[in-house]
Amino acid sequence: MSFSCCVKPIPLHLHLHPTTTTTSCFNSHLSGTTTTSSLSLRPLVLTRNTSFNFHPKLLLKRSFNTIRCSALTPELKSTLDKVVTSNKIVLFMKGTKDFPQCGFSNTVVQILKSLNASFETINILENDLLRQGLKDYSNWPTFPQLYIDGEFFGGCDITVEAYKNGELQELVEKAMCS
């Protein structure tokens, strides 16, 4: 298997991606279970975006979460459990914080930014297995999906409504302080 397959397909990334990180990607692939049925599936990459997505120096320091799975496997479930509990606020979205690729995702990003919330985003367009698995994980058919304090909060409509009535700000502040 080529190492480059676990690298996020952004040109900038490919040039700057350090070898050490690539190796750790590969190792984490080895730790996952590979069955015959999953051989045809692309490796799944979960990339935690920082708000400095395109700063070359920071990009090098960036940490990666790499996992491999098919739809909502027990492995994906436990990884998602970790992702949503180890970050106060996580947004699974189309595109990135800096380049949302869907109006609904963009709305939620702008709301969170306006609340000065620090949040992680994960681009579900990069992997279809993650995308499908998350629908089951959250029991929610569409994206974006917002998690606060390890719990599914809602999609775009719910976030907008909670933002309007002040509930979101309260929850975000609570999450940031906890």
| Shortest Å, Cβ 149 to other proteins | 14
Looking at beta carbons only, is 162 or 172 nearer to other proteins? Answer: 162
Whether omega for the bond prior to residue 141 falls within 30 degrees of 0, making it cis, is no
List 43, 73, 90, 104, residue binding other proteins (CB under 8 A): 104
Distances (CA, A) of 52 to 20, 49, 60, 94, 102: 21, 8, 11, 18, 20
| Residues of this chain, 117-146, that bind other proteins according to CB under 8 A | 139-142
| Residues of this chain, 151-170, that bind other proteins according to CB under 8 A | 152-158, 161-162
Looking at beta carbons only, is 119 or 143 nearer to other proteins? Answer: 143
Q: How many residues bind other proteins (CB under 8 A)?
A: 14
**What burial class does residue 169 get, using C-beta atoms within 10 Å of its C-beta: 0-12 exposed, 13-18 middle, 19+ buried?**
middle
The β-bridge partners of 44 are 67
Q: Which range touches other proteins (CB under 8 A), out of 16-24, 39-47, 125-133, 148-156?
A: 148-156
Q: How many whole angstroms separate alpha carbon 121 and alpha carbon 48? A: 6
Q: Are the C-beta atoms of residues 104 and 144 closer than 8 Å to each other?
A: yes
Q: Give contact residues for other proteins (rule: CB under 8 A).
A: 104, 139-142, 152-158, 161-162
